[in-house]
Amino acid sequence: MTDTIAILRECGAFLEGHFLLSSGRHSDRYFQCARLLRYPDRAAAALERAAGEAREALRSGALKADAVVGPAMGGIVVAYELGRQLGLPAFFTERDEAGRMALRRGFEADAGVNVIIAEDVVTTGKSSAECAAVLEAFGANISAIFCVVDRRDAGDAPLAGGLDRLPLFSAAKLSAEIWEPSDCPLCRQRLPFVKPGSRKK
């Protein structure tokens, strides 16, 4: 069986330090999946097991999917690779000039189409929820969430947008300490943080 965590470490995608997450919270670990996704062969291997689970769910009828959609930036390559492995079309949502998630570049989601949302890392589910809202406005059905890393802990709040109701396929499950800025022990140690994510809001 493919060791996704080992692949993440080999690619330098599993980072430890003091990080400001897109959610505004702080953490001692960060998963920079872009470092994995720059290697197509390693990305394919890292996602193979989870993609196989999704494929089996499709075969059994437990899951329906007509397309894979990823929120930009982190979900673009993940959606492509999952679509490739499942034999499904893949595209992405991205932010417009006002910073709102949208379908652009001529991409469309027909009413009734079943969609898997593909992400790099799931923590709060905010990006996936924004992507889902865009697709649902076109009448699409969100059937599952797929990610490279599920970094949630058991006590974390439910995923944004009610996404906990959906099956989640993850290539790796890796927890990390996450704090509100006012409670961050790394801040109290005056350790500078870095913000490696791309989302501005």
The CATH number that applies at residue 27 is: 3.40.50.2020
DSSP letter string over 113-152? -EEEEEEEEESS-HHHHHHHHHHHHTT-EEEEEEEEEE--
Neighbouring residues of 118: CB distance < 8 A, sequence distance ≥ 6? 68, 69, 70, 75, 78, 79, 82, 83, 90, 145, 146, 147
194 part of a folded domain: no
77 part of a folded domain: yes
196 part of a folded domain: no
Which range marks the domain in which residue 165 is found? 4-188
88 part of a folded domain: yes
162 part of a folded domain: yes
pTM: 0.85
pLDDT confidence of residue 23:
75
197 part of a folded domain: no
Q: How many domains does the chain have?
A: 1
Q: What is the pLDDT of residues 34-58, one digit of tens each?
A: 999 999 999 999 999 999 999 999 9
155 part of a folded domain: yes
pLDDT confidence of residue 151:
85
Q: What is the pLDDT of residues 68-98, one digit of tens each?
A: 999 998 899 999 999 999 999 999 999 999 9
Residue 197: is its pLDDT beyond 70?
no
- From the list 177, 18, 50, the residue with the least C-alpha distance to 119 is 50
Q: Which 8-state DSSP code applies to residue 194?
A: B
Q: Which 8-state DSSP code applies to residue 9?
A: H
Residue 195: is its pLDDT beyond 90?
no
199 part of a folded domain: no
Cis link prior to 101 (omega < 30° from 0)? no
Residue 111 to residue 109: CA distance in whole angstroms: 7
